[in-house]
Amino acid sequence: MFDSQKTLKQSLDKVTKTACRIKGRIPYRTIDGQFDDLTDRDIAWWTNGFWPGLLWLAHGQTQDKRFAEWARESEVLLDGALLDHFGLHHDVGFMWHLSAVAGYKVDGSKDSLRRGMMAASVLGSRFNLAGRYVRAWNSWGDRFEHTKWAIIDCLMNLPLLYWASEELKDPRFRHIAVAHTETVLKHFIYPDGSSRHIVEFDADNGGFIRSHRGQGYADDTAWSRGCAWLVHGMTLAARYTGRSDFLASAELAARYFLDNLPEDQVPWADFKAPTNKHKDSSAGAIAASGILTLAELVPAQRKAYYVDGAKNMLSALAKTCTAPDNDEALLTHGCVAYHWDKPGQQDTSLIYGDYFYLEALIKLQGGKGLF
């Protein structure tokens, strides 16, 4: 039987042990059981806020001041990316909401406030007014026309904009977040509640052009992590705005996710792929955390359905995806993308999987996440 309290304690113990070695560096995934370090290799990588986020979660549970010190060290290291605006992307929300904004909420640091506002400005500057979307990535020569692309992941970056508007008492950032979410409602969600990963727009007139498979099997399939981003991101949009259409969409996406889980409750990398090759524990962790928040927003008669669904996923992750004791990660069996078969892309640990797993376990005990 799944003991979520015991699992949370074990996870915090492992994070503590790992943090004593890593401290304020920037890990991404484990190699031969030990987390790598992106500090000097790729300081602008999109996942670089999840380690300080994990540390802030651990600090909130334990009040161990070391976690706060190490999270601050990571936050300072990220300045190398923040000062290079041309190298940034829409995932600045992940990077600085989980580091600077989380730290600011703890002690009111003016340096953290400044970093968070700078990141919000970068994110807001990526908004395309004609298409009402936040551009995902940057153009790389003639290979990709990224000025036209938005991706489902961006929903999870928008809390940075809601925070900035609330902190400044200025609605302009919030307007961008709401506009992008309305575009997701219109162009990203299939009738069954699954999600496109990438949508290409006409950057001049904002018209829909086509969808791209991105990290899923095909253009019209359902990459499970993208479906998880939709569940969690639309839930957060509903919580920040109180809008019933956002909540209805979050419920549709959550039901799709839960209804399409395999028997072992660990999602495949793509729900609609003709061949199920890879599991993705990170998708399960992201969705479970979002669904637990969703349970707090719905009427009482529907709450148990979502809590039970999230608990079943977390139980499955604990049973079949817990990393071995000699591995610093919390979870293994993560999948970067369905069709990327290079070493380290499949059946691997991923720092964001660990973050959302710990966040979900905390929510099961009545706690809160950082978004």
**CA 246 to centroid of chain Cα atoms:** 18
Catalytic residue numbers read 91, 153
What confidence category does residue 27 fall into, taking pLDDT thresholds of 50, 70 and 90?
A: very high
Instruction: Please indicate, yes or no, whether the overall pTM of this predicted structure exceeds 0.85.
Output: yes
Per-residue model confidence as pLDDT tens digits over 306-359? 999 999 999 999 999 999 999 999 999 999 999 988 888 999 999 999 999 999
**Cα–Cα–Cα angle for 129, 131, 133, nearest 5°?**
80
pLDDT at 370: 98
pLDDT of 146 over the 80 cut: no
Neighbour tally for 296: CB within 10 Å: 13
pLDDT of 87 over the 80 cut: no
- Class of 4-364 per CATH? mainly alpha
Strands (E) across the chain are located at 30-31, 34-35, 127-128, 133-134, 149-151, 198-201, 208-212
Per-residue model confidence as pLDDT tens digits over 202-248? 999 999 999 999 999 999 999 999 999 999 999 999 999 999 999 99
**Helix residue ranges per DSSP H, 125-208:** 159-168, 172-187
Residue ranges per structural domain of the chain: 4-364
When pLDDT is averaged across residues 260-279 and rounded to a whole number, the result is: 95
